[in-house]
C-alpha cells in the first residue's frame, strides 16, 4: 500500500478519534485559577495542550485576573471582554464573559451586566456557571423592579426602569423555563404589572403560572392573586360582571384545591364580597324590568338568579322581598273594563 494512502488513513483515524472524544466528556476540562499558577485547565485528555492562540488568550486572562485582584476592576473588565471578543471559541471566552459581567454588576451597570450574563448562557449553555448566572439575572431583574437605577459608566445613575425588570424576568423564563427561578420570575412579572397599573398583563402572567407550574409551591399564591386581580376589576353591581364571575371561579377553585392553605380566610372573605356583588347585579336588572317596564316575568327571572347565586346572603333576602312585590302586583285586583258605548251614526238633515 502506498505511503500516501497509509498517511491519509492514519489522518482519518486520528480525526475520527478526535471527533469521538469531542462528542463525549473526554475532552471536558474545567478552567480554574489559583494565585500561584494563574488560570489553567484541569481534566480532559487535552488539558495540557495549549495552541499559540490559546496561549495569547491565557496571558490576557492572567493579566485581567491580576488587575481584578489589585482592585483595578475597570481594566480587568476591559481585558476580560477583549478575550471574549477576540477568542470566542476558546475555553476562556465563557469565563471571561462571566467575570466581566460580575464586575459590571458590582459597578451597578445592571443593563450591561444582564446582557453579558445572557451571552454566556446563550452562547455557552454548558457553562458550569449556568445556574449561578440565572440567579444573578434574577437578582438584577428584582433590583430594577424595586426601583434600582442603572449606572452608566458605573458612575452616572439613570432613571428608574421597572419595565426593564419585567422584561428581564421574562427573559429568565425563556432561557431557563425548568429552573427553580422560572415560577418565581412569573410571579414577579405579575407583581410588576399590577404595580404599574396593568391588570390584564398581570392576569396573563398568573394564568401562565398556574398552567405551566401547577406543581410549584407558588401555585396556591398564584391562584389567590389571580382571584384578587379579577376582583380588583369589579366595578360594582351596575357594571358588566365578567370579572366578577372570573373572580368567583378562582376563589372557589382555590378552596377546592388548597383547603388547608393559610390564605383560606382571606379567600372566604373575597368570595363573599364578589358573590354579593354578583347577586346585587341581578337585583338591579330585575328592578329595571319590574319598576321601569312592568315586565313581571323578566323581573322574576333575575330576582330568582340573585337568590340562586348567593342564597344565604342579605341580598337574597332582598330578592325574595322583591318577588313578593312582583306577586302582589300580578295578583292585584283589576276593575273590569267599562263597556264602550256603541258608536252613534250622525244623521244629516236636508232642509
The whole domain housing 182 covers 130-208
CATH of the domain at 156: 1.25.40
pLDDT at 45 over 80: no
E strand segments, the chain: 30-34, 38-42, 149-152, 156-160
In whole angstroms, what is the distance from residue 349 CA to residue 263 CA?
A: 95
Please indicate, yes or no, if residue 51 is contained in any of the structural domains: yes
Please check the confidence at residue 342 and state whether its pLDDT lies above 70.
Answer: no
Is residue 156 in some structural domain? yes
How sure is the predictor about 217, in pLDDT bands with cuts at 50, 70 and 90? very high
User: Does residue 72 belong to any structural domain of this protein?
Assistant: yes
Domain boundary among 208, 243, 261: 208
> Could you tell me the CA-to-CA distances from 219 to 172, 185, 250, 262 in Å, in that order?
19, 13, 12, 13
Distant-in-sequence, close-in-space partners of 162: CB < 8 Å, separation ≥ 6? 144, 145, 147, 192, 195, 196
190 located within any domain? yes
Q: How confident is the model at residue 35 (pLDDT cuts 50, 70, 90)?
A: confident
Examine residue 102 and state whether it is found in any structural domain, yes or no: yes
Residues 325 and 286 sit within 8 Å (Cβ to Cβ): no
Residues 135 and 196 in one domain: yes
One domain for residues 134 and 204: yes
Of residues 350 and 345, the one with the higher pLDDT is 345
Region 178-186: what's the mean pLDDT? 96
What is the pTM assigned to this prediction?
0.78
Q: Write the pLDDT tens digit of every residue in 275-296.
A: 999 999 999 999 999 999 889 9
Residue 14 domain flag: no
| Percentage of residues of the chain with pLDDT beyond 70 | 82
Distance CA 259, CA 174 (A): 32
Residues 142 and 187 in one domain: yes
**H or E element in which residue 266 lies:** helix 264-287
Give CA angle at 97 (95, 102), nearest 5°: 95
State which of 155, 190, 208 marks the end of a domain: 208
pLDDT digits (tens, 9 = 90+) for 138-179: 999 999 999 999 999 888 999 999 999 999 999 999 999 999
Q: How confident is the model at residue 34, as a pLDDT?
A: 84
Residues 94 and 139 reside in one and the same domain: no
Percent of the chain with pLDDT over 90: 73
According to the model, what pLDDT value does residue 341 have?
Answer: 53
Helix, strand, coil: what percent of the chain each, to 5? 65, 5, 30
Q: Cell 378562582, residue?
A: 250
Strands 149-152 and 156-160: antiparallel
Task: Flag whether pLDDT at 19 surpasses 50.
Answer: no
Q: Is residue 243 part of a domain?
A: no
What tens digit of pLDDT does each residue of 225-269 get? 999 999 999 989 999 899 999 999 999 999 999 999 999 999 999
Q: What is the band of 30 on the pLDDT scale with cuts at 50, 70, 90? A: confident
The number of domains in the chain is 2
Q: Give residue 2's pLDDT.
A: 53
Domain edge (last residue) among 158, 181, 208: 208
Residue 261 lies in a domain: no
Q: Are residues 144 and 201 in the same domain?
A: yes
Amino acid at each position: 500500500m502506498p505511503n500516501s494512502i497509509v498517511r491519509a488513513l492514519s489522518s482519518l483515524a486520528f480525526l475520527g478519534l478526535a471527533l469521538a472524544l469531542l462528542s463525549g466528556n473526554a475532552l471536558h476540562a474545567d478552567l480554574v485559577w489559583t494565585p500561584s499558577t494563574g488560570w489553567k485547565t484541569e481534566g480532559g485528555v487535552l488539558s495540557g495542550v495549549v495552541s499559540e492562540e490559546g496561549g495569547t488568550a491565557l496571558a490576557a486572562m492572567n493579566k485581567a485576573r491580576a488587575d481584578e485582584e489589585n482592585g483595578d476592576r475597570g481594566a480587568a473588565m476591559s481585558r476580560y471582554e477583549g478575550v471574549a471578543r477576540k477568542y470566542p471559541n476558546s475555553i476562556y471566552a465563557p469565563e471571561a464573559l462571566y467575570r466581566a459581567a460580575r464586575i459590571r454588576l458590582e459597578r451597578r451597570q445592571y443593563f450591561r451586566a444582564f446582557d453579558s450574563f445572557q451571552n454566556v448562557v446563550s452562547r455557552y449553555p454548558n457553562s458550569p456557571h449556568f445556574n449561578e448566572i440565572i440567579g444573578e439575572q434574577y437578582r438584577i431583574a428584582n433590583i430594577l423592579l424595586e426601583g434600582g437605577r442603572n449606572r452608566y459608566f458605573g458612575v452616572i445613575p439613570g432613571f428608574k426602569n421597572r419595565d426593564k425588570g419585567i422584561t428581564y424576568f421574562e427573559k429568565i423564563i425563556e432561557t431557563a423555563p425548568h429552573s427553580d427561578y422560572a415560577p418565581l420570575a412569573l410571579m414577579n412579572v405579575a407583581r410588576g404589572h399590577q404595580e404599574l397599573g396593568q391588570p390584564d398583563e398581570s392576569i396573563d402572567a398568573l394564568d401562565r403560572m398556574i398552567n405551566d407550574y401547577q406543581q410549584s409551591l407558588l401555585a396556591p399564591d398564584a391562584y389567590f392573586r389571580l382571584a384578587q386581580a379579577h376582583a380588583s376589576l369589579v366595578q360594582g353591581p351596575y357594571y358588566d360582571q365578567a370579572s366578577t364571575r372570573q373572580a368567583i371561579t378562582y376563589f372557589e377553585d382555590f378552596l377546592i384545591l388548597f383547603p388547608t392553605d393559610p390564605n383560606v380566610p382571606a379567600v372566604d372573605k373575597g368570595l363573599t364580597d364578589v358573590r354579593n356583588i354578583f347577586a346585587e347585579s341581578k337585583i338591579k336588572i330585575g328592578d329595571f324590568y319590574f319598576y321601569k317596564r312592568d315586565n313581571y316575568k323578566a323581573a322574576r327571572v333575575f330576582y330568582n338568579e340573585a337568590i340562586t347565586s348567593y342564597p344565604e346572603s342579605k341580598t337574597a333576602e332582598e330578592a325574595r322581598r322583591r318577588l313578593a312585590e312582583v306577586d302582589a302586583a300580578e295578583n292585584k285586583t283589576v276593575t273590569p273594563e267599562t263597556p264602550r258605548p256603541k258608536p252613534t251614526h250622525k244623521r244629516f238633515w236636508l232642509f
